[in-house]
Structure 1
Amino acid sequence: MKTPVNTFKQALQNQQVQIGLWVDLADGLCAELVAGIGYDWLLLDGEHGPSDLRTMLAQLQGVSSAQGSIPGLATHPIARVPMGEVAIIKQFLDLGVQTLLVPMVDTAEQAAQMVRAMRYPPDGIRGMGSSVARSSRWQGYPNYIQEANEQVCLLVQAETVEAMRNLDAIAATPGVDGVFIGPADLSASMGFPGNPDHHEVQVAIADSIARILKVGKAPGIIATTEEQARKWLAAGALFVAVGVDTMLLSDAARNLLSRFKSSAPKSSAGGY
């Protein structure tokens, strides 16, 4: 069998907009449920969600189960690693993840190191352990180590003032497929913690999307309101998360309770 084609990476290269959902509940059953909805991609969060390798594996298996049971479903799982470290990236890739989101990448040098961590030698420094790993389906993909480098997809997060200064070089780094703008951390770095809707932050985000597109890479972002999502899609963002599982659940639960108890707290959308 041939190593599966990374359809998400292919879509970004073809400048096809990809609509996603953030998944922070770190549960395989929840991942399976939302994977069957029809989003183009799901972000399985290993940075702020309580995911470890075992729960990440369960979520990947949940997504695969949904894909196998629903004809035509092509939801792509993306894993966010807790930090940009070579050993962690190796472990996530060996789980079978093809696309990784790496937080807090502030320089082109950091981005280049993440590119190397994603690839087998001679193009990179990824450790050779796929023969015992889910990534190769335990050698079910006999040419995995020859094919994997073409199918991995690296998304890096630019979410600080320093990253904004270095954004052009970060985005232009060979092997970086997309740059994700983190509104919450960026707003804090700019001096407006908890206020990603601040005018200066919004201007910086719009400028960042344009700069990423200018160097031929895919810009991405998360939005927790429809207004924001449509704004960034119109600005040219190619992969946009339009919601978060925890917020969807808590908002729906609050709204339901408010129909029966007048004292129930009301939901409120916020930045992420």
Structure 2
Amino acid sequence: MRTNPVKEKLQRGEAAFGTMVFELVAPGLPAILSAAGAEYALYDMEHSGISVEEMKRQFAYARGLDLVPIVRPPGKQYQFAARLLDLGAMGLMFPMVESAEEAAELVSWTRYPPKGVRGAMFGGAHDDYAAGDIAEKMRVAEDRTIVLAMIETEKGVANVDEILAVDGVHGAHLGQFDLSLSMGIPGQTDHARIEAAVDALLAACKRHGKFAACMAPTVEIGRHWMSKGFRMVSYSYDIGLLAGGLSEGLRHLRTASGD
């Protein structure tokens, strides 16, 4: 079974970089991202049309690459968490986590009994269809899985300290856009209230020895948040990268042509 070098780096206090995927789930995508230097791909199933079947294919395409697949499930239900882990996800990012009790339940879905409630399925996709000692497979599966709690509501910010105190929650992922909606300041992600929430999230991560994660839509924003303490940084997302790169190139070509 593959180990998770991204989780290992983050737990050593190092930084890890990747991107988010919403739309362009082609067979070559994991290889393209890996060749570009991404250490992980964070696939979004909450706001996209990406299916469980497509995720199984993406996990297979990533096998053998230095790319760690992480998924935001379509919802906070056991069936999604357990199935995605069985298919090969090496991390789960749960949306809108708002309490320690909720966080503890989410963690339990990622762990086998007696530490959790994850059902047993071995000799399948997540353990590379191989034979082997079941107890060792359980150990590797739990050691490699990243559990991220998204902090993206005012209630989540208020309870971020107790959420990050939960054993098995490895990090907090800032959800700045949903947080701005929750605060009644839609889209104002540079607002002082958002900055205060970021500070609270970072302080809780430091207090409990967890890492802070974010999606940086620009290099400048990414550098700013890294200077504050974020160590797991997704640079933009597939739609934005394609549209932004194409728009910039066409703008220069049109300027050169005189149009």
> Do they fold alike, i.e. is TM over 0.5?
yes
- SS of match in other structure, 1:21: strand
SS in 2 for 1:136: coil
Q: How does 1:1-272 map to 2 (within 5 A)?
A: 3-25=1-23, 26-64=25-63, 67=65, 74-131=66-123, 133-143=124-134, 144-261=137-254
- How far, CA to CA, are the matches of 1:230 and 1:238 in structure 2? 10
CA displacement at 1:31 relative to structure 2:
3.1
Provide Cα deviations, 1:186-235, integer angstroms capped at 9, x if missing partner: 11111111221222212221332122222111111111111110111111
Give the Cα–Cα distance (whole angstroms) in 2 for the partners of residues 156 and 61 of structure 1.
25
CA–CA distance in 1 between the matches of 2:41 and 2:79? 23
CA distance in 1, matches of 2:21, 2:151: 20
- The verdict on how the C-alpha distance between 1:36 and 1:236 changes in structure 2, with shifts beyond 3 A counting, is same
| SS of residue matched to 1:79 | strand
Mapped contact 1:32–1:59 kept (Cα < 8 A): no
Question: Contact 1:94 / 1:129 at 8 angstroms: preserved in 2?
Answer: yes
**Residues 146/197 of structure 1: CA separation in 2 closer, same or farther (3 Å cut):** closer
Name the aligned partner's letter for residue 138 of structure 1: Y
Count, aligned residues: 252
Q: What CA deviation, in whole Å up to 9, does each residue of 1:115-156 have, x standing for no partner? A: 10001111110011233x201222344432353222222111
What code does the residue aligned with 1:123 have?
Answer: K
Say if 1:136 and 1:142, in contact at 8 Å, map to a contact too: no
CA distance in 1, matches of 2:163, 2:146: 15
Structure 2 stretches lacking a partner, 5+ long? none
Q: Aligned partners of 1:32 and 1:76: how far apart in 2?
A: 11
Task: Assess if the C-alpha contact under 8 Å between 1:111 and 1:176 holds in 2.
Answer: yes
- How far apart in 2 are the matches of 1:228 and 1:40? 19
Whole-Å Cα distance in 1 between the matches of residues 96 and 200 of structure 2? 19
What's the CA shift for 1:258?
Answer: 2.4
For structure 1, the 5+ residue unaligned runs are: 68-73, 263-272
Does the CA-based 8 Å contact 2:173-2:214 persist in structure 1? yes
Alignment TM-score, normalising by the size of structure 2: 0.91
Does the aligned pair in 2 maintain the 1:28–1:61 contact within 8 Å? no
Deviation at 1:260, TM superposition (A): 4.3
Change (3 A) 1:146 1:16: closer
Contact 2:68/2:90 (<8 A) preserved: no
C-alpha deviation, 1:261, in angstroms: 4.3
Q: TM-score, normalised by structure 1?
A: 0.87
